Structure 1
C-alpha cells in the first residue's frame, strides 16, 4: 500500500476511475481534474496497491464552512492557509470497495489535516453513505444546498 499526492501524469488514470465511480452528470471532467491538479496537487491523494491507483480523494482548503457547487467548478478558490479541508470526491475502484481502502485514505487525510493545523474536514455525500462517514468521526449537518448532478447531498463535518 502506498499513499502519495497526484501529478499531471496521473490524470488519465484518475479520470478513468472517476468515470467508473460516478455517472456522467456527477463525474468530474478531465479538464476539471487538470485545474485541480494545477491549484492544489498537495491536496489530491492517491492510494496505490501494487503500483495501481485503486482509490483517490481530493479537495481544496478554504475558510468557508459550507461546501458549495461553485467550489467543484473553481479550483482557483483554493486557499492554502484556509482552516477547512474540503473533500470533493472519494473514489475507489469497484473491485476494491468494502475492503477498508477508502477508510485508510480518509484516516490519512484526517492525520495530514491535523498536522497542517486545519480545524475541520467537510464533504457532501448521498444519504446511503452517511453511516460510512459517521464511523470515521464525521457528523451529519443535514441536507446540503448542493444540487451537483441533480442529486440530494448531505453535508458532513469532521472536527479536528
Structure 2
C-alpha cells in the first residue's frame, strides 16, 4: 500500500470512493473535492493499492476550535497556519475495510498535525464510531451543536496534543 497526498489527477477516484462510503445527503460532491484539493491537497491523505485509490482522509486547518457545517462546503476557509487540523472524511472502500487502512491514514494525519505544531485534531462522527476514534486518543465532546450535516446526529471528537 502506498500513502501520499491528493492531486487533481485523483479527483474522479476520490468522488467515486466518497459515493460508495456515504449516503448521498452526507457525501461531498466532485466539485467540493476539487476545491478541497486546490486549497489543502497537502492535508488530503490517500491510500493506493497499486494504482487503485482505496481509502482517504481529508480536512483543512483552521483557528476555529469546533467543526462546523460551513467548513465542509467552503474549502477557502483553510488557514495553513491554523491551530486545529479538522478531519472531514475517513473513507475506505467496503471491500478493503477491517484491515487497518483507515487507521494508517488517521495516524498520518495525526503525525503531520503534530509535526506542524497544531494544537490537535477535530472530527465529527456518528455514535457507533466513537469507540473507534477513541483508539486514536480522540475524546468525545458530545453531540455537536454546530454540525447537522446530512441531517444526521454527529458527535464532535478532539485529540489534543
- Measured on the aligned residues, the alpha-carbon RMSD in Å equals 0.7
- Report what 1:147 is aligned to: 148
Secondary structure in 1 matching 2:117:
coil
Deviation track 1:39-73 (CA, whole Å, cap 9, x = no partner) reads 11111110112221111011000011110000001
Q: Superposition pairs for residues 2-41 of structure 1, below 5 Å? A: 2-41=2-41
1:106 is displaced (CA, Å) by 0.5
Give distance in 1, aligned partners of 2:69 and 2:127: 18
Give distance in 2, aligned partners of 1:128 and 1:10: 30
Secondary structure in 2 matching 1:40:
helix
Q: Which runs of 5+ in 1 are unaligned?
A: none
TM-score normalised by length of structure 2: 0.98
- Report what 1:110 is aligned to: 110
Moved beyond 3 Å, runs of 4+: none
- Report what 2:42 is aligned to: 42
Secondary structure in 2 matching 1:17:
helix
**Count of paired positions:** 160
Give distance in 2, aligned partners of 1:96 and 1:131: 20
1:134 pairs with 2:134: yes
Secondary structure in 2 matching 1:34:
helix
Give distance in 2, aligned partners of 1:51 and 1:85: 27
TM-score normalised by length of structure 1: 0.98
